[in-house]
Chain A
Amino acid sequence: MAFIVRHVSRTAGGREIVRARRIEKDALTVGRAADSDVHLTDLGVMLHHATITRRGEADAMIATEKDVPVKVDGRSASRAAINARRGGAIRIGPHRLVVSLGEGEEAGALVVTVTRDEEVTAPERDAHGLAGTVPGKRRSAWMFALLILAAFLAWPVWTFYQSRGVEQRPDGFHADTMWSTGALSSAHANLENDCQACHQQAFVSVRDSSCLSCHADVHDHADRDRMARAVAPPDFTDRVGLVFADFFNRPRQACVECHTEHEGAGAMAPTPQRFCAECHTGLESRLTDTRLLDAGDFARDHPEFRPVVMTSPGNQPGARPSFARLSLDRRPQEDTGLKFPHELHLSTTNGVARMAQRLSRRYGFGESLGCADCHTPTADGVRFMPVTMEGDCQMCHSLAFDRIGGTVRTLRHGEPAQVVADIRAFYRGTAPPRPIDLSGMARRRPGGDNRARTVGRYQFAVATRYSGADRAIRRAFSDGGVCFDCHRVQAPPRGAEYRILPVRQIARYMRRGWFDHAAHVNEDCTECHAAERSESASDILIPGIATCRDCHGGEDAHGDLVPSTCALCHNYHADDGAPYLVRGRDVRGGGRDAQGRRAREQGDRGR
Chain B
Amino acid sequence: MATRGAEGAESYDSASQRHAARHESFLRYRGLFWAKLASVVALLAVVSYLLVDVEPRHNGGSWYGYALGTIGALLILWLTLLGVRKRAMTPGRWSLKAWTSAHVYLGISLIFIATLHTGFQLGWNVHTLAWALMLLVILSGLFGITVYGFLPRYLSDNRDETTEEQMLATVGELDRQLREAAQPLDTRHAAIVQRALDEEVAWASVRRRLFGTRFLGTSADSLAEIRRETLLLRAPDPHLDRVEALLARKVAALQRIRSHMRVRALLEAWLYVHVPMTFATIAALSAHIVSVFFYW
Q: Which residues of A contact B (CB under 8 A)?
A: 32, 34, 41-44, 46-47, 126-131, 133-134, 137-138, 140-149, 152-153, 156-157, 160, 176, 178-183, 195, 199, 202-203, 205-206, 237-238, 240-241, 244, 248, 250, 260, 263-264, 269-270, 272, 274
Q: Does B179 interact with chain A (Cβ within 8 Å)? A: yes
Q: Are B121 and A241 in contact (CB under 8 A)?
A: no
Among A44, A181, A264: residue with most chain B CB under 10 A: A181
Q: Does B17 interact with chain A (Cβ within 8 Å)? A: no
Q: Are A32 and B284 in contact (CB under 8 A)?
A: no
List the 6 closest pairs (A to B, CB-CB), nearest first. Answer: A272-B55, A269-B56, A144-B280, A141-B279, A240-B63, A145-B283
A241 cross-chain contacts in B, Cβ below 8 A: 62-63, 66
26 contacts between A and B (CB under 8 A): A34-B184, A41-B179, A43-B194, A44-B191, A44-B194, A127-B168, A128-B261, A130-B265, A133-B206, A133-B209, A141-B276, A141-B278, A148-B283, A152-B129, A152-B283, A153-B286, A153-B290, A156-B291, A180-B125, A181-B125, A237-B63, A241-B63, A263-B56, A263-B121, A264-B121, A272-B56
CB A245 to nearest CB in B, in angstroms, measures 10
Given contacts A127-B202, A157-B294, A241-B66, contact A149 B190 (CB under 8 A): no
CB A128 to nearest CB in B, in angstroms, measures 5
- Among B34-42, B98-106, B244-252, B267-275, the one that faces the other chain is B267-275
Specify which of B123, B206, B280, B294 is in contact with A182 (CB 8 Å cutoff): B123
Beyond the given pairs A130-B206, A153-B126, 17 more chain A to chain B contacts, judged by CB atoms under 8 angstroms and listed by A's residue number, are: A42-B194, A43-B191, A128-B257, A129-B265, A130-B268, A134-B272, A144-B280, A145-B279, A145-B280, A181-B59, A181-B123, A183-B123, A205-B296, A240-B66, A241-B63, A260-B61, A263-B56
A203 and B272 CA atoms in complex are apart in Å by: 36
Give how many A-B residue pairs fall within 8 Å (CB-CB): 164
B168 cross-chain contacts in A, Cβ below 8 A: 127
A142 and B277 CA atoms in complex are apart in Å by: 10
A142 cross-chain contacts in B, Cβ below 8 A: 279
Instruction: Indicate with 1 or 0, residue by residue over B124-140, a CB within 8 angstroms of chain A CB atoms.
Output: 11110100000000000
B127 cross-chain contacts in A, Cβ below 8 A: 179, 181
Given contacts A43-B182, A44-B194, contact A128 B164 (CB under 8 A): yes
B62 cross-chain contacts in A, Cβ below 8 A: 241
Among B186, B265, B279: residue with most chain A CB under 10 A: B279
Question: How many interface residues does B have (CB within 8 Å)?
Answer: 64
Q: Are B67 and A240 in contact (CB under 8 A)?
A: yes
Q: Does B253 interact with chain A (Cβ within 8 Å)? A: no
Specify which of A41, A44, A274 is in contact with B183 (CB 8 Å cutoff): A41
Given contacts A180-B123, A181-B59, contact A130 B272 (CB under 8 A): yes
A534 and B179 CA atoms in complex are apart in Å by: 119
Q: Does B187 interact with chain A (Cβ within 8 Å)? A: yes
